[in-house]
Amino acid sequence: MQIRCWDDQCVVHALRSGDTHLVNGLAAQVLLAATEGSWDLERMAVSIARQVGVKADQAFLAHLHAVVGELQTKGLLSRTCFSPN
C-alpha cells in the first residue's frame, strides 16, 4: 500500500487490487497504524488523538470505529482488523 498526503487529503494506492482511493488524514493514520501492527483500536485512538490534539473520548472512539468500517468496506483493511474477540 502506498500513501501520499497533502494537508488533510491522502491518496492510497492498494497494490493488490490496483485501486486508488482518496481518504482523509485520519483514515491515513489508521492505515499507517495498522500496517505497523497496531491492532488495538482503543490504544490507537489514544495515540492518534494525541497526535491531532483532541480528546480520546467515546465520541472520538466511535468516529474512529466508523473510519475503520469505511476502510474495511473499501478493501483497504481486513475485516478481522479491530474486530471484537
Query: pTM (2 decimals)?
Result: 0.82
Name the β-bridge partners of 22: 11
Block residue for cell numbers 474477540: 85
Q: How far apart are CA 34 and CA 32, in angstroms?
A: 5
- Tens digit of each residue's pLDDT, the chain (85 residues): 889 999 889 999 988 889 999 999 999 999 988 887 766 788 888 888 998 899 999 999 999 999 999 999 998 988 666 655 4
How many residues appear in the chain?
85
What is the domain partition of the chain in residue ranges? 25-79
Helix 41-52 crosses helix 58-73 at what angle (to 10 degrees)?
110
